Amino acid sequence: MRLISRLDGTEINVGDKVPDFRGDIATVLHIYPPSTVTGGQGGRVHLRYEAIGFDSLYFPGVIHARFDELLPDAEPLDFGRTHDRNMMREKGYDE
- 43 domain residue, yes or no: yes
The residue among 73, 38, 82, 85 whose CA lies nearest residue 59 is: 38
Q: Are 18 and 7 in contact (CB under 8 A)?
A: no
- 95 domain residue, yes or no: no
- 24 domain residue, yes or no: yes
CATH of the domain at 71: 2.30.30
What's the pLDDT score for residue 40? 55
What's the pLDDT score for residue 42? 72
- The Cα–Cα gap between 41 and 52 comes to 29
What's the pLDDT score for residue 87? 58
Count of structural domains, the chain:
1
What's the pLDDT score for residue 27? 96
What's the pLDDT score for residue 86? 64
Q: Are 50 and 27 in contact (CB under 8 A)?
A: yes
Q: Could you list the mean pLDDT of each consecutive 10-residue stretch along the chain, which spans 95 residues?
A: 89 94 93 68 87 90 83 47 58 57
Q: Bridge-partner residues for 66, per DSSP?
A: 4
Q: Using H for helix, E for strand and C for coil, what is the string for 46-76?
A: EEEECCCCEEEEECHHHHCEEECCCCCCCCC
